[in-house]
């Protein structure tokens, strides 16, 4: 019985500390980074100050990413005439895996920039522990919302959160 209580205690403590490790990023300035887009152009987060930025970390091997990606494209189109942009950061180590994934998807909106992070250095700086992982930044670059994984109700939440930051 004592062993079961110990295991349950460890489990409960682990579950309680997971949100704390993510919560440290909320309301903090997002880590700045510069990555290349799929055409080889450098894109720096700091250059997007004044825009609401949706940063999404994804990979071709991630089933929820495959579901989420078309929804991100719809989101980008919805806000194409506003101060909003999506940075879709791919973390595949092999570029051809990303290329194959993108060939199966609708062409991305002009309001979505696909970046490559094959060494996963940027995703780790955001402390993302799930895939996909998304961070919504206000116009000053402060992380206001975070989403880990994907479910079908997420796009509704994204719209409410983005609308609140565009006001």
pLDDT tens digits, one per residue of 68-119: 999 999 999 999 999 999 999 999 999 999 999 999 988 778 889 999 999 9
Q: Do the beta carbons of residue 155 and residue 74 sit within 8 Å? A: yes
H helix or E strand, kind and range, residue 103: helix 95-103
End-to-end Cα distance, the chain: 55
Calculate mean pLDDT across residues 139-144. 96
pLDDT tens digits, one per residue of 8-67: 334 343 443 444 344 337 899 999 999 999 999 999 999 999 999 999 999 999 999 999
Where b means 16+ CB within 10 Å and e means fewer, 35-73 reads beebeeeebebeebeebbbbbbbbbbebebbbebbeebb
| Cα–Cα dist 167/165, whole Å | 6
pLDDT tens digits, one per residue of 107-140: 778 889 999 999 989 998 998 889 999 999 999 9
């Amino acid at each position: 019985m004592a062993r079961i209580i110990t295991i349950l205690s460890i489990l409960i403590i682990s579950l309680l500390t997971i949100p704390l490790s993510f919560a440290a990023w909320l309301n903090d300035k997002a880590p700045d980074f510069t990555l290349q887009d799929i055409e080889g152009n450098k894109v720096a987060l700091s250059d997007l100050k004044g825009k609401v930025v949706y940063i999404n970390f994804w990979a071709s091997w991630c089933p929820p990413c495959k579901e989420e990606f078309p929804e991100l494209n719809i989101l980008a189109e919805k806000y194409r005439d506003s101060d909003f942009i999506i940075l879709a950061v791919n973390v595949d180590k092999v570029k051809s895996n990303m290329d194959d994934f993108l060939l199966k998807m609708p062409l991305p909106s002009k309001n979505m920039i696909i970046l490559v992070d094959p060494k996963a250095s940027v995703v780790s700086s955001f402390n993302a522990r799930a895939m996909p992982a998304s961070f919504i930044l206000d116009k000053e670059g402060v992380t206001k919302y975070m989403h880990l994984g994907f479910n079908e109700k997420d796009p509704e939440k994204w719209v409410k959160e983005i609308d609140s930051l565009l006001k």
